[in-house]
Amino acid sequence: MKWKKFRIKTKTEAEDIIISTLYDIGLEGAQIEDNVPLTPLEKEQMFVDILPQMQEDDGIAYLSFFVEETEDGELLMNGEITKEEEILNAVKTELDGLRDFMDIGEGSIAIDETEDIDWINNWKQYFKQFYVDDILIIPSWEEVKEEDKDRMIIHIDPGTAFGTGMHETTQLCIRQLKKFVKEDTELLDVGTGSGILSIVALKLGAKHAVGTDLDPCAVPAVEENKEVNEIPTQDFDMMIGNIIDDKEVQDKVGYEKYDIVVANILADVLVPLTPVIVNQMKKGGIYITSGIIDNKEETVVEAVKAAGLEVLEVTYQGEWVSVTARKN
């Protein structure tokens, strides 16, 4: 299957109205390209391995709409046969109408053709097995080599919503978990994502893990990865909500009950998280953080100390930092 792509150059402030207007004529599912800075809420919600690096916002946006192209070259929109010229004329008419009451910028339309892509599974080509010291992390669709069968093997399918675990920040956390996890460890994993850190901890011998995340997609992702790693259901509980400011989530997670809290999230989230999360930690509990770009190291260290925690170790990989501390 092929698709015809109609790409409009406009201004960021006109994105929503253009998308809404073209939706009414049958163009759906716009792909947006811009450099608008992330809001504090968006940053807070990005409990992922790495924050996207963006160029300075120039106010320009590109909106792409995709229309299915049949084998005989006709276009199919809303179940009806149409032509490229008809769509192009309709889009131009709508854009000209919008110009009467707002600045939509250049408003040019480029037309291109793209091959069909398996959007659900295309990401798999970027996720290959990798090692964190003596631990092999491997997706379900790859075979474990004979020479790796004696290693600790973690099967992780990140899905489309979360990081693969290959990122330096995740590896930094795994190495710290290897140092501190014991047989009776109760673990709290803030920003769980695919569940990789909790699953590694459980495989290392932790007794129980609780994960929190803002994204509801974490629930099925964690369930699938628990199953493939043969993690008993009762050993790993998952909660959706913002533990930073949601008292209900804090109560549900519980207070002074965790031997280890691991948080592989952004420095800007770690700062408000730290004074809250100390309440969930046992005395003597370990706090493992990452997701910290090197120029944010001091900011996180200061937040950790201000919360009354003792910094035990700062470790590095590439341009990323992990801060490990203890509640005395």
Known binding-site positions = 170, 191, 213, 264
CA distance 183 to 282: 16
**Interhelix angle for 218-228 vs 196-203, to 10°?**
30
What's the CA dihedral at 21, 25, 28, 30 to 10 degrees?
A: -40
Residue 315, token pair as written in the block: 């470790």
C-alpha distance across the termini of the chain, in Å = 61
Locate tokens 């999360």: which residue? 277
* 202, 205, 207, 213: CA torsion to nearest 10: -20
Amino acid identity of residue 97, one-letter, is G
Name beta bridge partners: 66. Answer: 5
Summarize the annotated binding site for S-adenosyl-L-methionine as residue ranges.
Answer: 170, 191, 213, 264
CA distance 134 to 131: 7
Helix 196-203, helix 168-180: angle, nearest 10: 30
